Amino acid sequence: MAIRFRIMPKFRLALTVIRGRFSVDDLYKQREAIESSESYDPSFDLVFDGRRISAFDLEGSDIREFAQSLSPERKRFARTAIIVSGDLGYALSRIFRATSGRQRDSTLKIFYGSKEAMDWIAEGRRAVADNRGDWPEGA
């Protein structure tokens, strides 16, 4: 299993890409790696790309426990896009959404493609900027 993450302060975005087998320990390691980064800000948008996961070594109960361990500050991500490639990834992501308290929250969505996920992230930023009046022209 390989987890790669990149925090892009200029874009107020944290991107995580998972490849190979994915376990519950990987969830916690990924969170710790992002939180320990000096560039990390819990208000950044988060994109979690799990399309390259080849097998899941975790269960719904692991996802529930992880989701419930998140602090309220961590839930402040402007938007969280989870990108999946199959039914199991989608089902586990739905469990995460439900148990993280974001079932009815419009700040977390599950996608099958990166274009749709990034379009949704950009849509949220435009809505915020429209309210503040500071979105760059043409963006």
The two tokens of residue 122 are 């950009």
The two tokens of residue 65 are 């426990």
Across the chain, which distance is largest between two alpha carbons, in Å? 45
Sequence-distant contacts of 28-35: CB under 8 A, at least 24 apart: 28/66, 29/3, 30/3, 30/5, 31/74, 33/3, 33/5, 34/5, 34/7, 35/74
Q: What is 2-132's CATH number?
A: 3.30.750.24
Average predicted confidence (pLDDT) for the chain: 84
Higher pLDDT, 27 or 131: 27
Residue 103 has pLDDT above 80, yes or no: no
Identify the H or E element spanning 9. Answer: none
pLDDT of the residue at 139? 42
Q: Give residue-wise pLDDT tens across range 16-34.
A: 999 999 998 998 998 888 8
pLDDT of the residue at 129? 60
When pLDDT is averaged across residues 62-83 and rounded to a whole number, the result is 78
Residues 6 or more apart in contact with residue 39 via CB below 8 angstroms: 7, 9
pTM flag (> 0.85): no
Sequence-distant contacts of 24-27: CB under 8 A, at least 24 apart: 24/57, 24/58, 24/62, 24/65, 24/66, 26/1, 27/58, 27/62, 27/63, 27/66
pLDDT of the residue at 132? 52
pLDDT of the residue at 85? 94
